[in-house]
Structure 1
Amino acid sequence: MAGDAGRLPPWDRVYVFFRRWRDRVLVREFHDRLRGRGRQDAGRDAEPTAGVIDSQSINADAVVGADSRDWSARRAR
């Protein structure tokens, strides 16, 4: 890595490009494209089709009864 330092452009030039990409929301687009390509390379669809929500990490207000707070509370009864 240290041997590559001489081949990189000056940091301020790189930063100008990064700011331009960030301001035009291109960083997110690059991320999404790379994620899609990685998923395809792994033999999966480019776009995820499902998500997971961990019910144990969701806190409920004190006014919500313990029997209806989350799956763990119902299962422990």
Structure 2
Amino acid sequence: MLLTTEVAEEFRKIFKVTEMEIKNGVDELQALEIGKKAVREDLGKELADCLAYLCKLANYFNYDLEENRGNYLF
């Protein structure tokens, strides 16, 4: 749940800023870019938190992420 909460709020911010910009007459693609720029720094922090949670989960189960990384690459 923490993983989705970390990133979901940033997506909400992107959509809110984008919607506001569109209402102000900005083109949709341009509005989306403005929204993305508005959350870029915070999103990086939230993604880092997600990575930390995943590492903690792997450690809790004594799961070696590096050893098993090849099994899930696309």
The two structures have a TM-score, normalised by structure 2, of 0.33
Structure (1 or 2) with the larger CA radius of gyration: 1
Report which structure shows greater RCO (CA 8 Å, sep ≥6): 2
